[in-house]
Chains A and B, each alone.
Chain A
Amino acid sequence: MKNVIEVKNLIKEYKEIKAVDNLSFEVHEGEILGLLGPNGSGKTTTINCLLSLLNYSSGSIKIFGKEMKPDSYDIKSKIGVVFQDVAVFEELTVYDNIDYFCGLYIKDKKLRKQYIEDAIELVGLEEFKKFYPKQLSGGLLRRLNIACGIAHKPKLIFLDEPTVAVDPQSRNNILDGIKKLRDNGATIIYTTHYMEEVEIICDRIIILDKGKILATGTSDELKELAKIEEKITVEINELQENYIEDIKKSKNVDEVKYTNSLLLVTYTKGKNNLVELMEYLKENKIKYNKIYSERPTLNDVFLELTGKELRD
Chain B
Amino acid sequence: MFIHNFKYSLKTLFRNKELIFWTFAFPIILATFFNMAFSDIENSEKLDIINIAIIQNDDFNNNEVFKSAFEEMSDKNNKDRLFETKYTTKEEAQKLLEEEKIVGYMELVDNKPKLTFITSGINETIFKYVSEEIMQTSNIINNLTEEEIQNQIMTGNFNVDYESIYNKVIEITTEENVKLKNISSDNLSYTMIEFYTLIAMVCLYGGILGTVSINQNLANMSNQGKRVSIAPTTKGKVILSSVLASYITQLIGVALLFIYTIFVLNVDYGNNLGLIIILALVGSLAGLSLGTMVATTIKSNENVKTGIILSITMLGCFLSGMMGITMKYIIDKNIPIINKLNPANMITDGLYSLYYYETLDRYIFNVVSLLIFAFILIAVSYISLRRQKYDSI
**A contact residues, total (Cβ < 8 Å):** 32
Shortest distance from the beta carbon of A12 to any chain B beta carbon, whole Å: 10
Select one of A53, A55, A70, A96 contacting B226, CB under 8 A: A53
Other-chain contact of A105, B12, B232, B238, B389 (Cβ < 8 Å)? B232
Q: B15 and A14: CB pair below 8 A?
A: no
List A residues 100-152 near B (Cβ within 8 Å). 100-101, 103-105, 107, 148-149
Shortest CB-to-CB span from A261 to chain B, Å, is 46
Report yes or no: B230 in contact with A91, Cβ–Cβ below 8 A: no
Residues facing B in A139-189 (CB within 8 A) are: 148-149
Contacts of B388 in A (CB 8 A): 52, 70-71
Contact at B392–A14, with CB atoms within 8 Å?
A: yes
Interface residues in A18-53 by Cβ distance below 8 A to B read: 48, 51-53
Q: What are 6 contact pairs spanning A and B, CB under 8 A?
A: A14-B391, A53-B219, A53-B230, A83-B223, A85-B223, A104-B228
Q: Is A92 an interface residue (CB 8 A)?
A: yes
Q: How far is the CA of A226 from the CA of B219 in the complex (A)?
A: 40
The interface of chain A, by Cβ under 8 A from chain B, is 14, 48, 51-55, 70-71, 73-74, 76-77, 79, 81, 83, 85-89, 91-92, 96, 100-101, 103-105, 107, 148-149
Which A residue's beta carbon lies closest to that of B235? A70
In angstroms, Cα B216 to Cα A86, docked, is 14
A105 to B238, CA, bound (A): 13
Q: Of A53, A79, A81, A105, which contacts B393 at CB under 8 A?
A: A53
The reply to whether A91 and B11 contact each other, CB–CB distance below 8 Å, is yes
Tell me the complex Cα distance, A105–B233, Å. Answer: 8
Q: Is B181 an interface residue (CB 8 A)?
A: no
- Indicate if B79 sits at the interface (CB-CB under 8 A): no
Does B337 reach chain A (CB closer than 8 Å)? no
Is B63 at the interface (CB under 8 A from chain A)?
A: no
**B189 contacts the other chain (Cβ, under 8 Å)?**
no
Report if B8 contacts A (CB, 8 A). yes
Q: Which residues of A contact B222 (CB under 8 A)?
A: 87
| Residue from B12, B228, B232 in contact with A92 in the complex, judged by beta carbons closer than 8 Å | B12
Complexed CA–CA distance, A76 and B390 (Å): 17
B56 at interface by CB-CB < 8 Å: no
Q: Does B101 have its Cβ within 8 Å of any Cβ on chain A?
A: no
Residue B16 contacts which of A14, A73, A91 (CB distance < 8 angstroms)?
A91
Chain B neighbourhood of A54, CB < 8 A: 389-393
Interface residues of B in 370-393 (CB under 8 A from A): 388-393
- Contact call A55/B391, Cβ cutoff below 8 A: yes
CB-defined contacts of A92 to chain B, threshold 8 Å:
8, 11-12, 15
Q: Is B168 part of the binding interface, using a Cβ–Cβ cutoff of 8 Å?
A: no
B232 touches A74 (CB 8 A): yes
B234 cross-chain contacts in A, Cβ below 8 A: 71
If A76-B232, A92-B8 touch, does A87 touch B389 (CB 8 Å cutoff)?
A: no
In chain B between 351 and 385, which residues have their CB closer than 8 angstroms to a CB of chain A? none
**B57 to A: closest C-beta gap in Å:** 68
- Interface code B1-40, partner A: CB below 8 Å = 1, 0 otherwise? 1001100100111111000000000000000000000000
Closest to B19 in A: A91
- Complex alpha-carbon distance, A76 and B219, angstroms: 15
Please give, as numbers and ranges, the residues of chain A lying within 8 Å of B142 by CB-CB distance: none
Distance (whole angstroms) from the CB of A74 to the closest CB of chain B: 7
B233 contact from A87, A96, A104, Cβ within 8 A = A104
- Check if B229 is an interface residue, CB within 8 A of chain A: yes
B15 and A91 form a contact (CB under 8 A): yes
Collect the chain B residues with CB atoms within 8 Å of residue A149's CB. 227
Minimum C-beta distance from A15 to chain B (A): 10
Chain B residues, Cβ within 8 Å of A73: 232-233
Q: Are A76 and B389 in contact (CB under 8 A)?
A: no
B231 A89 Cβ-Cβ under 8 A: no
Contact with A along B201-229 (1 / 0, CB 8 A): 00000000000000010010011101111
A199 to chain B minimum Cβ distance, whole angstroms, is 29
Checking B5, B14, B389 against A53 with a beta-carbon cut-off of 8 angstroms, the contacting residue is B389
Residues of A within 8 A of B238 (CB): 104
**Which residues of the other chain, A, contact B219 by a CB distance below 8 angstroms?**
53
Q: Contact between A76 and B231 (Cβ–Cβ < 8 Å)?
A: yes
Q: Is the CB of A105 within 8 A of B231?
A: yes
* Contact status of A148 and B227, CB under 8 A, knowing A76-B232, A77-B232: yes
On chain A, the residues within 8 Å of B232 by CB distance are 73-74, 76-77, 104-105
Residue in B11, B226, B392 whose CB lies within 8 Å of A83: B226
Closest to B8 in A: A100
